[in-house]
Amino acid sequence: MSARNILVINCGSSSIKFALVNEAQETFILSGLAERLGSPEAVLHWQQGEHKDSLVLPGADHRLALSHLLPVVQQAAAGALHGIGHRVVHGGEHFSGASRLDAASLQAIRQVAPLAPLHNPANLQGIEAAMKLFPNLVQVAVFDTAFHQSLPEHAYRYALPQALYAEHGVRRYGFHGTSHRYVSRKAAQISDLAYDASSWLVAHLGNGSSTCAVENGHSRDTSMGLTPLEGLVMGTRSGDVDPNLHGHLARTLGWSLEQIDSMLNKDSGLLGLSGLSNDMRTLEQAREQGHAGATLAIEVFCYRLAKSLAAMSCALRRLDGLIFTGGIGENSALIRSKTVDHLGLLGLKLDTQANARCVRGVAGAIHADGHPRVLVVPTNEERQIALDTLALLD
């Protein structure tokens, strides 16, 4: 049987990221982005090999953008498209793995939409549009939260009244599960270890960031919680703050819940600390030029990351290695170095030259000789979604 092609779709409220993945090829046949959907500036961009193209689609919604994408995908796949994999942010407690999409699974996704009001409704828009356009193709949902359904109760429960969990699902769910699963499996392969007999700390670092403890192929703890706001300092998200900050700001400044929520999600993190940018590349350049805010943002980011990784180690009985991934994790030698410097009690130490070499897609070991394993492993969530889709096809 020839190698199969899977279209991977990731829908935001006004965008669609997509990739055409062949199971036998490491690189994507086709990839691209439809952005500014629902506006006069809506546009579809795609790349196939070295060839790049764009199509302006004024006012296009998700369905119209997908209908224009269809012939491009069919041509790139030479007419052989075998399934569609959809990224869905929140699966609640209902989904512990990928699921074929049907009436029952769609209803379950709708039911947990209140847990991810910015994400699940947009994911559903893309799913429903794709199911109308591709009615004969198997379509699969892959959930960011599913990998973390293996957390023990003592790791996922908040110290809140029981009714909030039992009646409203208030608990820690975690996110970035597709990435944490992909890179921990890849790290085991690189290290010649059995995935189901290996233990990893993972730092997925980008505009959204999280840590995870992976033992024997299962997530045992993770830094994000009920929402993606909990945990690390991120691009514009605060990460952990005093839970009574809401009350303090409401009493002293008269802020509404909406104002506080917006500040914590959109105006905080690296952007809030630095007063300059949420982009780590910009902050590293500014730090070199003596910018105090950028310097502070980097210091806080690395210290809080190291604290989280040390906390995650409580979930493991041994440590086979620390993995850095995501846009920052794969490309910032400075962030990796500063973070590991805080983790001396775990025995971690980097090889300076190896650390400097692992940027722009270069994977590999960066630990100093005689010290525990530290790896840079580029993530590939689209490929993991395609593999999960293929598994259900089989």
CATH 3.30.70.260 fits 5-143, yes or no: no
Q: In the structure, what pLDDT confidence band is assigned to residue 1 with cuts at 50, 70 and 90?
A: low
Task: Give me the pLDDT at residue 122, please.
Answer: 87
DSSP secondary structure letters along 89-115: S--TTT-SS-EE-SHHHHHHHHHTGGG
Identical fold between 5-143 and 193-381: yes
Q: Is position 327 annotated in a ligand binding site?
A: yes
Q: Which residues of 288-324 are buried (b: 16+ CB within 10 A; e: fewer)?
A: eeebebbbebbebbbebbbbbbeebbebbeebbbbbb
Q: Is position 50 annotated in a ligand binding site?
A: no
Task: Give me the pLDDT at residue 342, please.
Answer: 98
Q: Is position 216 annotated in a ligand binding site?
A: no
Domain ranges of the chain: 5-143, 193-381
How many CB atoms neighbour CB 54 within 10 A?
12
Nearest CA among 138, 147, 94 for reference residue 120 = 94
Q: In the structure, what pLDDT confidence band is assigned to residue 12 with cuts at 50, 70 and 90?
A: confident
Look up 144 and say whether it is catalytic: yes
Q: Is position 394 annotated in a ligand binding site?
A: no
Q: Is position 70 annotated in a ligand binding site?
A: no
Q: Domain 193-381 adopts which CATH fold?
A: Nucleotidyltransferase; domain 5 (3.30.420)
Catalytic residue, from 144, 221, 320, 388: name it.
144
Among 77-86, 122-131, 275-284, the range of highest mean pLDDT = 275-284
Query: Does an H or E element contain 391, and which?
Result: helix 381-393
Question: Which range (9-18, 114-123, 124-133, 296-305) has the least confidence?
Answer: 114-123
Instruction: With 0.85 as the threshold, say if the pTM is over it.
Output: yes
Q: Is position 131 annotated in a ligand binding site?
A: no
- Span 68-112, pLDDT tens digits: 998 899 999 998 999 999 999 999 999 999 999 999 999 999 999
- Span 343-377, pLDDT tens digits: 999 999 999 999 999 999 999 999 999 999 999 99
